[in-house]
Amino acid sequence: MTDLKPLKQLEDRLGGEVKIIPMAPMAQYTTLRLGGPADLLAEPDSPETLTRLLEEAHRLEIPVTLIGHGSNLLVKDGGIRGLVIRICREMRRIEVKGNTIRAQAGAMLSSLAMTAAENSLGGLTFASGIPGTVGGGVYMNAGAYGGEMGQVVTLVEGVDLSGRPFRYAGEEMQFSYRHTRLMEEDKIVTHVTCQLPNANREELIKEMVELNRRRAEKQPLTLPSAGSTFKRPVGGYASALVDECGLKGVSVGGAQVSEKHAGFLVNRGGTAADFLALIAHVQKVVFEKKGIVLEPEVRILGEDAPVTPV
């Protein structure tokens, strides 16, 4: 049972300066379109309001969960206790100076890639179709078509959960496949800087259009999903393994292995419990038939729904 008093205190203290939503339905804040409510969801519009929120949550001992655009999240049906901080639309400024581009964490990767291209800067075309924020992209070391954030990021700035600032040079981030040191450190990204090579504007735009055409051709973009559910295992592709095991189209409740791309699980009116059961089923079958353990790429947050007595 959540202690509502500190949450109410936080809302009373900061509600005038930050957008705060009580009992926020996480289905509205995730591309998978499911999950129970967050006790409180706040959307800071500046690094300063973010710090105020963190300091207040720390003082009131309220647990904090950070999200971006919610495109790599599976939120359980019981929702998220405490405060969810969403860094997305309200913090999305992007600045270009010469070959350097600096973005607030809530800017979308597509905007970052497009701004770079418009300024004749290359290196980010791979990111143009990844439907997440710059902060989420750096946290995940998001990548596609041979590129990943770690190749272009030179500086990551942010704060820890008590509001203390940090700065990591790109080399200090320990970027590896869908991994960065932030995953072990509970740190929040506020700004990301990339150093980019000069390139031809028209060619960059043409390349992005082509990559996005390939995406739309292969991926089930018209159904809610969180992208590739599993990480690429050593020496293979998760989608090929799932397909070879005959799992394309298999469902648990309203969660389905996409018929178009076996690496995506799509939402056809399911619950988080359906998705967790489908993930476990796919992992079991792939392990039995191929001897390979598939690890989720999607981040699982929150609590199971309480069991109602019959």
Ligand X SMILES: Cc1cc2nc3c(=O)[nH]c(=O)nc-3n(C[C@H](O)[C@H](O)[C@H](O)COP(=O)(O)OP(=O)(O)OC[C@H]3O[C@@H](n4cnc5c(N)ncnc54)[C@H](O)[C@@H]3O)c2cc1C
The answer to the question of residue 31 lying near ligand X (CB under 6 A) is: yes
Distance of CA 247 to the CA centre of its chain: 25
CB of 98 to ligand X, least distance (A): 25
Q: Is 279 helix (H, G, I), strand (E, B) or coil?
A: helix
Interacting span for ligand X (CB under 6 A) from 113-121, 200-208, 223-231, 277-285: 223-231
Known active-site residue 297: yes
CB of 292 to ligand X, least distance (A): 20
CB of 15 to ligand X, least distance (A): 22
The answer to the question of residue 221 lying near ligand X (CB under 6 A) is: yes
CB of 164 to ligand X, least distance (A): 15
Q: Which of 71, 128, 225, 228 is catalytic?
A: 228
Distance (Å, rounded) from C-alpha 79 to C-alpha 87? Answer: 18
Contact status, residue 49 vs residue 13, Cβ threshold 8 Å: no
- As a whole number of angstroms, the longest Cα–Cα distance in the chain is 65
Interacting span for ligand X (CB under 6 A) from 38-46, 95-103, 131-139, 237-245: 131-139
Burial of 29: CB neighbours in 10 Å, binned 0-12, 13-18, 19+: buried
Contact status, residue 86 vs residue 136, Cβ threshold 8 Å: no
The answer to the question of residue 135 lying near ligand X (CB under 6 A) is: yes
User: Measured from the CB atom, is 16 or 174 closer to ligand X?
Assistant: 174
The answer to the question of residue 227 lying near ligand X (CB under 6 A) is: yes
**189: nearest Cα among 19, 13, 35, 47:** 47
Distance of CA 32 to the CA centre of its chain: 11
CB of 186 to ligand X, least distance (A): 9
List of residues 6+ apart from 235 with CB closer than 8 A: none
Distance (Å, rounded) from C-alpha 34 to C-alpha 41? Answer: 16
User: Measured from the CB atom, is 182 or 282 closer to ligand X?
Assistant: 182
Distance (Å, rounded) from C-alpha 44 to C-alpha 190? Answer: 11
Write the DSSP string, 247-262: -TT-EETTEEE-SS-T
Measured CA angle at 216 (ends 215, 221), to 5 deg: 105
The answer to the question of residue 7 lying near ligand X (CB under 6 A) is: no
Q: Which of 44, 82, 122, 137 binds ligand X (CB under 6 A)?
A: 137
The mark string for 169-208 relative to ligand X (x by CB under 6 A, - otherwise) is -------------x-----xx-------------------
Going by the DSSP 8-state scheme, the letter that residue 84 receives in this structure is: E
Interacting span for ligand X (CB under 6 A) from 1-9, 46-54, 137-145, 276-284: 137-145
Distance (Å, rounded) from C-alpha 108 to C-alpha 230? Answer: 23
Q: Which of 178, 225, 239, 258 is catalytic?
A: 178
User: Measured from the CB atom, is 56 or 148 closer to ligand X?
Assistant: 148
Tokens 């963190």, residue located: 54
**Span 66-95, contacts to ligand X by CB under 6 A:** 66-73, 87
CB of 216 to ligand X, least distance (A): 10
**Span 149-168, contacts to ligand X by CB under 6 A:** none
CB of 283 to ligand X, least distance (A): 19
List of residues 6+ apart from 3 with CB closer than 8 A: none
Kindly list the residues in this chain that would bind ligand X in the complex (CB under 6 A): 31, 66-73, 87, 105, 130-133, 135-137, 139-140, 142-144, 182, 188-189, 219, 221, 225-227, 299
- Return the active site residues: 178, 228, 297
